[in-house]
Amino acid sequence: MGPAAAGAAAGAASGAMASEAAEREPELITHRAYNGTTDGPDPYSRFDGDGFDDDLVEDHHEPGPDDGDGGDKKGKKKGKAALTPAQRRKRRWKIIRRSLYAFVALFFVLPAIAFAITYFLVDVPSPEDVAQQQAKVVTYYYADGETEMGRDVPPDGGNRILLKPHEIPEHVKHAVYAAEDATFESNPGFDITGILRAVYNQATGGVGGGSTITQQYIKKATENEEYSITRKWTELVKAFKMSNEQSKEEIITAYLNTIYFGRGAYGIEIAAQAYFGKSVKDIDVSEAALLAGMIQQPGRSENPEVREKRWNYVMDQMVANGWLSREEREAAKLPELIDLEDAKPETISGPEQFILQRVKEELEKKGYPEDKLQTGGYRVYLTIDQHAQEAAEQAVKQVMEGEKEELMEALVAVDPKTGGVLAYYGGPYDPDVPGGQYDWAAAQRNPGSSFKPFDLVALLKKGKGLGETYDGSAVREFDGRPVRNANGDDCGTNCTVAEAMKRSINTVFFDIVVNEVGPQAVVDAATEAGIPEEGSGVDGRPTMPTLDGNISIGGGDTMVSPLHMASAYATFADNGIRHESHFVAKLTTSDGEIVFDNTSEVATEGEPAFSSDPAVSKQIAGNVTKSLIPVLEYSHLTCEGGYACAGKTGTHQYVSPDGQQKDENAEAWMVGYSPDVSAAVWVGTGKNQPIRDSNNNRIYGSGLPGQIWKLFMDAYHEGKPLTEFPEVELIGKPPTTPPPPPPDPAPETTTQTAPETTSQTAPEEPSDTSSAPSTPTGPGEGDEEEPPGYSNPGGPPVPPPDDWFGNNRDDRGGGEE
């Protein structure tokens, strides 16, 4: 090639390069990196000690048309493959080192800095400061929002007795350690596992965590009860600071001087006086264990079952930690408490004390325990209607005046439209009356035939109704065991469900449950109406633990409280809409700021009970009501003034401790409702004892309970507009014309066939006309007897044995049912 040709070629190449350069985006020299195309390293690139920057070597690739930045993927892979094993290992370790640096900084360095800063910013409140802010007066209002029911006043107006470390006995401290923090003497003031648990719960939407005694003191002293990581963090720092600045002896003393024990008592000295009427220096190990056990559940101090459970736990923990010998533990007995009215100056007294207890339990479940209420001086607006409460107490007083002292009674009324408890009478709350300090309105008892409406619900849900017929003979056998009707009442072999409900025919309802719907369907119907499947009464017993035919007549293991029965019947009254029963309408702070409001439209909306379709649930409830209206007419318990009412009685038969069925009753019920109110009444002794009135006549549901119920309902409706139950279409075939009713039962002196000592239902007794209303009497209803051994003299009821297939007896007399 000649010079001219060479020049032309060079010019062409130069032009091509210039053209290519013009098409490429210019680079800033500060952005250039060594890419292997220059004679030496770029002075601005980064290198390791081996002369290579691992990051850049990995990104090295030959430019290609398929690569967005001028290179192709194949070239990139080739560049990566060029790394030596040593370079790859070096790169991996670099990533690990940097990750470790970040981990240490995130989880150790930064928290340590934050901890140090927080440590110097926070202060630990002194017991004197805490005492000044605790125990303000809590005010309770009736449903009108203006009338005070009373005030919960702390002992001595909130004064404290702050003890010195040497004034608190060692066994008291050990009891508190056993109950709350067994490692108190050795831990640094906080529990790291508890903190981590709180973090986890916060992240997963749960609540709670672990707290040492020191942390609990900080929490109570700062009035911060929220479940949050921030609260736990601050609590941890303050607890650590308190542990550094004070001795363990000083810390436990501060804690015991300020913690809340229930009964309005803050501090161990006031608590010893409130529970036992003595100074803390005089209480023994058993009493110390009870006080320590109540720290976790101070709002349930008047629940004997809770007290016993917590006492047993603390005593066992003291043995486990070597603070109490096994011999001392076995010899110890649950200590007795002084009367609550002697423990603190309550302005709320008498039957309203039981309302106060239920209110405190309800608020505690919502996150407002008693000590928090008193610390904030809250205002509690109740659902209790003053007129209804006075009517309830007056009805009980009028009917029970002059009756035997051992008879206890309970009345609960619920608003069907909201679930709010309108009236609540659990007893006289009189320490001078046997059983007078036990809340019978929340105690679970056998409901007898008052449970039969739930049998009917189960049947209605299958599409069968009041027109279905069953064998209502006086005596029938089921699995070889006899079931009998009251007084030998015979409804015939084609007895309709409507007639069986009116006359409370045991054989029909036993047949329905055993052969038609099954016991579980009755459980489902009852729980849908509002009765908890697991018991939540004051005695804490299961409600319906055993599934057998006895549930059809409210016997065996079927247990329910008056509160639950009033709530469940309220579901019938509100056309199949279930509302959760409650006592608190609204809670506000001392300056009127609303904390929560149960009176809002959303809160009172309720939900269909027996079907997801409100119309179907209404139809089922309406059919139940149709079956219960004639019951009141048959028992002479209709409401005065033309008010529409429906209801059912129930009686439970007495069985002696040796298992023998007796011609006596042990429980008597009346449960009924109008569109405006649902009410349940119970009368008994609570001890498996025969119940007789002042004339020594057997008590049936239509007797004393029925009279109390009727007086209350008539007083409640007085002056209110008339309301009617809505018309609903019958489910299944309509009932045929019933046969004429049987004659009135013979008087009590009539000779009766002794009940068989079987484990099935016994024959019903004729009732005492003297215990019934003065109007002419007619046949009554049948209820379950007590199972053998179902006895607890001197205390609340105990559960029956699991293997008992009990008998139900029908109430006779007073025209019941």
Cross-strand pairs, 673: 646, 678
Retrieve residue 370's tokens.
């008693």
Q: Is the dihedral of CA 37, 38, 39, 45 positive or negative?
A: negative
Retrieve residue 774's tokens.
């003065």
* Residue with token string 């091509």: 16
> Is 449 tagged catalytic?
yes
Q: Among 180, 287, 468, 528, which one carries the catalytic annotation?
A: 180
Chain-centroid distance, C-alpha 659: 35
Rounded CA separation 261/155 (Å): 12
Rounded CA separation 526/530 (Å): 6
Rounded CA separation 207/222 (Å): 19
Alpha helices in 246-303 (DSSP H): 248-258, 268-276, 285-293
- Side-chain half-sphere of 342: how many Cα atoms within 13 Å? 12
Alpha helices in 366-475 (DSSP H): 370-376, 386-400, 452-460
Distances (CA, A) of 95 to 48, 207, 263, 593, 656: 14, 37, 62, 55, 81
| Cα three-residue angle 209-212-214, rounded to 5 degrees | 130
Rounded CA separation 290/278 (Å): 14
DSSP 493: T
* Residue with token string 């309406």: 622
Rounded CA separation 803/70 (Å): 87
Retrieve residue 100's tokens.
């470790």
The kind and range of the H/E element at 413 are strand 408-414
Report the relative pairing of strands 607-608 and 646-655 from DSSP bridges: unpaired
Rounded CA separation 189/502 (Å): 67
Rounded CA separation 621/607 (Å): 13
Rounded CA separation 489/503 (Å): 8
Number of alpha helices (DSSP H) and beta strands (DSSP E) in the chain: 26, 18
Rounded CA separation 365/348 (Å): 22
DSSP 31: G
Buried b (16+ CB within 10 A) or exposed e, 255-270: bbbbbbbbbbbbbbbb
Transcribe 142-157 into DSSP letters: -TTSSSEEEEEPPGGG
> Is 180 tagged catalytic?
yes
Q: Among 243, 286, 301, 449, which one carries the catalytic annotation?
A: 449
The kind and range of the H/E element at 192 are helix 192-204
- Helices 452-460 and 519-529 cross at an angle (nearest 10°) of 100
Rounded CA separation 52/35 (Å): 11
The kind and range of the H/E element at 476 are strand 475-478
Contact 151, 356 (CB under 8 A): no
Retrieve residue 384's tokens.
């209790």
Which residues, 6 or more positions from 353, have their beta carbon under 8 angstroms from its beta carbon? 340, 346, 429
Which residues, 6 or more positions from 667, have their beta carbon under 8 angstroms from its beta carbon? 445, 446, 448, 650, 651, 652, 682, 683, 684, 691, 783
Q: 173 exposed, middle or buried (CB, 10 Å; 0-12, 13-18, 19+)?
A: buried
- Helix%, strand%, coil% for the chain, nearest 5: 40, 10, 45
Active site residues: 180, 449
